[in-house]
Amino acid sequence: MNEFHQKIQTDHLTRNAYLYIRQSTLRQVFENTESTKRQYALKEKMVALGWSLEQIIVIDSDLGQSGSSSVDREGFKTLVTEVGMGKAGIVVGLEVSRLARNSSDWHRLLEICALTNTLILDEDGIYDPGYFNDRLLLGLKGTMSEAELHVLKSRLQGGIFAKATRGELKTPLPVGFVYQQNGKVILDPDQQIQKCIHLFFEVFQKSGSACGVVKYFSQNGLKFPRKLRKGINKGEVIWGELVHSRTLQILHNPRYAGAFFYGRVKSRKLVDGTTKYEKIPPEQWHSLLKDSHPSYITWEDYEKNTRRLTENAQAFGLDRKMSPPREGSALLQGIVVCGVCGLRMSVRYHTSAGKTFPDYMCQRNGIEHGNKICQGINGEGIDESLGLLLMEVVSPMALEVALSVENEIKTRAEEVDGLRKQQVERARYETDLAKRRYLLVDPQNRLVADSLEADWNEKLRILAEAQEEYQRKCKSDCKILSKDERNSILALASDFPRLWRNPNTPIREKKRMVRLLVEDVTLIKDREITAHVRFKGGRLQSIKIPMPIRAPQLFKTSEAIVSQVDRLMEKYTDSEIADILNQSGKKSGRNNPFNATIVANIRRTYNLESLYERLRRKNLLTLTEMTQKLPVSRHTWKKWAKKNLIKSYRYNDKNERLYQWSGNELVVKIENEKQQGRSKEFIKLLSNHINGVQYEA
């Protein structure tokens, strides 16, 4: 105790005492209560050393947290902060392993305690990190604590691997399986769960796709079981909507084929304390034991299912932003964003008249939940409009403006670069100063030498960070163009349209040009297609694109030709109109020469009056109606029409005619025929007329 009081100074007693309490797991907190009691009992020891109860601050927020890292240990971070601010006179822990089981965290705490003259107390004694012997002992304890954790972890891992090799390791089971009391795996006794999973695999066998399974369950309103992996209801089965990602997990899980596996995922710690998980190929798994427990499908079916999923995949993984340009004709592949939901749109192709055209589809949510796709847009008009926009944007005037802006950016960049250089120079000066201080100190005076060495190392670190930041910023700044580069860019403005229109330019190279100029394109389909084009540098330009013409409208006869057919129908038959149109070089909606059938179809489609209807509207009569007015044979009427005694008009391509009734004018013509003695029939008609036969005028 006297040794304790020799290290405890008045300055230490004026500051607070921090008691840090930690247990590695929640299970230890509830079961190893004696260790927790011993840690709290250290408050009495601090009171005996001279601190009042008001000065003793207990930090126990890390109960149930591992000491292998400071990540997620808010209590330890608070402790380090308080020590660094000079508020702590002493840090108390039952043993070093309670404070940290990681050498980097432990030595960082020691460095801060030494700089702020903070003591450290454990069950064995009190230490001053500023003294070499105490510092050496504390460092050794920290190393032993970390080594102890490594040994414990190695032992546990060895046991896990041994059990996994025999297939006896208990791992979380997917829904549909449960453990018996003896540890064996059996099918879930719940018959509803079994039937649901059997139905799942039957539907996949019939549909052949994970999306088909999702649609089947969604359309039929079926729920699918799922096990809760965490929380107070961990292990409980709940029922909900089947989604696409869950479907793939089940199809790729060997457990449903009755196989035990271990080591499918490899994990490693990152610098920021997070854990990265990576799937590895089956041949690299630690264990794979087939037919180790009852199954829903055979191993052969499992391999067929995984092989079918691989064959179904057009690309592995989700649509990636800025994926490499491929051979397809879609210019905007990988840079199209849906203006409705904000997700990235994928590309699909369709063939028409022997040509391939792109379609931009927003279908991820639809596939995930078995619903309709968000929107699908024909990409032919979009790609064409984007090409015209790029040829308009890449103009000499636009490039001149860009180069003038570049001059201003150059001036500002030089000013900022000067400030960054000054920061690096200041860091270099402080590093040199710390170095000179360290070299001037007596090497035997380790208390001062260690502190100066730590300060020098810290300055070196700051200098390295400043230099790295300076280099990074220089690379990210706008590049200053030389005179030759400026001339090359201006020449590009005149070469770009020619290069873009050249049919020999590969589509992949066009995509690369688009990537150099365009950041992304957002599409919205309504009565027309709106494309918001975001160029490199932040400029935004919107263009309106008409909706693609549908097939019936695409082959529709032009309004000018329809109007011409309507005018010609006053005098000509269908075949005559077709000949007139062909002589003038006109073509039908399908780019074919005209014929009588096409003209008749146009007439019926647009409700045009036929030549027959137009002539009838002019009071022309049929042959039957003419015989009713004047009882002569049909042959006689035709003869009169040939001799121009009456007027007749052809109304179709069969040479069928309509006749114009002329009344008394016809009688006069008949009298003339009598005088000439050309027809007995005319004489008879004239006699009847003389005898009082009346004719309609």
Task: Say if residues 435 and 456 touch (Cβ distance below 8 Å).
Answer: yes
pLDDT band at 249 (very low <50, low <70, confident <90, very high): very high
83 and 124 share one domain: yes
- The pLDDT of 491-502, averaged and rounded, is 69
- Indicate which residues carry an active-site annotation: 24
Number of CB atoms found within 10 A of residue 644's CB: 9
Partnered with residue 658 across adjacent β-strands are 649
pLDDT of residue 235: 83
Q: Which two tokens stand for residue 468?
A: 């790295």
Q: Are residues 109 and 26 in the same domain?
A: yes
CA distance 276 to 388: 45
Q: What is the DSSP string of 555-576?
A: TPPPHHHHHHHHHHTTT--HHH
| Residue 503 covered by a domain | no
Answer with the one of 294, 312, 330 that is the final residue of a domain.
Answer: 312
Angstrom distance (rounded) from CA 314 to CA 322: 17
Range of the domain at 431: 396-485
DSSP 8-state symbol, 18: E
**Range scoring the smallest mean pLDDT among 17-21, 315-319, 597-601:** 315-319
pLDDT of 477 over the 70 cut: no
Per-residue confidence at 122, pLDDT binned at 50, 70, 90? confident
Are 107 and 216 in a shared domain? Answer: no
Indicate whether 395 pLDDT > 80.
no
Q: What's the mean pLDDT in 294-304?
A: 92
pLDDT over 90 at 297, yes or no = yes
Query: How much is the pLDDT for 315?
Result: 44
| Residue located via tokens 């688009």 | 514
* pLDDT for position 410: 61
Which domain-ending residue is among 430, 450, 485? Answer: 485
**Measuring CA to CA, how many Å separate 505 from each of 326, 380, 508?**
14, 18, 8
| 16-45 confidence digits (pLDDT tens) | 999 988 887 777 778 778 888 888 888 888
Burial class (CB in 10 A: 0-12, 13-18, 19+), 297: buried
CATH code assigned at 71? 3.40.50.1390
Q: What are phi and psi of 390, to 5 degrees?
A: -65, -40
pLDDT of residue 187: 92
| Residue 534 near residue 542 (C-beta atoms within 8 A) | no
Domain-located, residue 531: no
> Which tens digit of pLDDT belongs to each residue from 518-543?
888 999 988 888 899 988 777 888 98
- Provide the pLDDT for residue 320: 45
E strand intervals along 52-184: 56-59, 88-92, 119-121, 126-127, 177-179
Range in 198-207, 224-233, 311-320, 639-648 the model is least confident about = 311-320
Which helix (H) or strand (E) segment holds residue 132: the answer is helix 132-166
Q: At residue 350, what are phi and psi to the nearest 5 degrees?
A: -135, 155
Query: Does residue 426 sit within a domain?
Result: yes
pLDDT level of residue 585 (50, 70, 90 thresholds): confident
Torsion of CA 437, 439, 441, 444, to 10 degrees: 150
pLDDT of residue 686: 47
Share of the chain above pLDDT 70, in %: 83
Same domain, 568 and 663: yes
> How buried is 207 (Cβ within 10 angstroms: 0-12 exposed, 13-18 middle, 19+ buried)?
middle
Both 182 and 74 in a single domain? no
| Cα 676-680-684 angle, rounded to 5 deg | 110
Please report which confidence band the pLDDT of residue 257 belongs to, taking 50, 70 and 90 as the band edges: very high
Residue 294 pLDDT class (50, 70, 90 cuts): very high
Query: Is 347 domain-assigned?
Result: no
- Give 43-47 contacts, CB < 8 A, sequence gap 24+: 43/19, 45/92, 45/121, 46/17, 46/19, 46/90, 46/92, 46/121
Instruction: Assess whether pLDDT exceeds 60 at residue 597.
Output: yes
Looking at residue 633, its pLDDT comes to 80
156, 194: one domain: no
Neighbours of 113 (CB within 10 A): 24
pLDDT surpasses 70 at 670:
no
Residue 532 is assigned to a structural domain of this protein: no
Interval 497-503 mean pLDDT: 78
- In tens, the pLDDT along 30-89 reads 877 888 888 888 888 888 888 988 888 988 888 878 777 777 788 888 888 888 898 899
Report yes or no on 298 lying in a domain: yes
| SS3 per-residue string spanning 398-448 | HHHHHHHHHHHHHHHHHHHHHHHHHHHHHHHHHHHHHHHHHHHCCCCCHHH
Q: Can you give the pLDDT at residue 174?
A: 92
What average pLDDT does range 151-169 have in this prediction? 82
pLDDT at 68: 74
* Band of residue 317 on the pLDDT scale cut at 50, 70, 90: very low
Q: Is residue 323 over pLDDT 60?
A: no
Q: Which CATH number characterizes residue 229's domain?
A: 3.90.1750.20
Task: Name the average pLDDT for the chain.
Answer: 80
Does residue 157 contact residue 163 with C-beta atoms inside 8 Å? no
For residue 541, list its beta bridge partners.
533
State the average pLDDT over residues 213-221: 85
Summarised one tens digit per residue, pLDDT across range 412-468 is 556 556 656 766 777 788 888 888 887 777 777 766 777 778 888 888 888 888 788
Please give the pLDDT value at position 319: 47
Least confident of 29-38, 56-65, 251-260, 680-689: 680-689
16 plus 158 within the same structural domain = yes
Kindly indicate the confidence band of residue 256, based on its pLDDT and cuts at 50, 70 and 90.
Answer: very high
124 and 182, same domain (yes or no): no
Do 611 and 670 lie in one domain? The reply is: yes
Q: Are 6 and 147 in the same domain?
A: yes
Number of domains in the chain: 4
Sign of the dihedral defined by the CA atoms of residues 270, 273, 278, 284, in that order: positive
pLDDT score recorded for residue 255: 93
- Residue the block writes with tokens 């860019």: 489
Q: Is residue 533 part of a domain?
A: no
Burial pattern 671-689, b for ≥16 Cβ within 10 A else e, equals eebbeeeebeebbebbeee
Residue 49 shares a structural domain with residue 154: yes
- 281/211 same-domain check: yes
Please report the pLDDT score of residue 177 as a whole number: 93
Last residue of a domain, one of 485, 504, 529: 485
334 in a structural domain? no
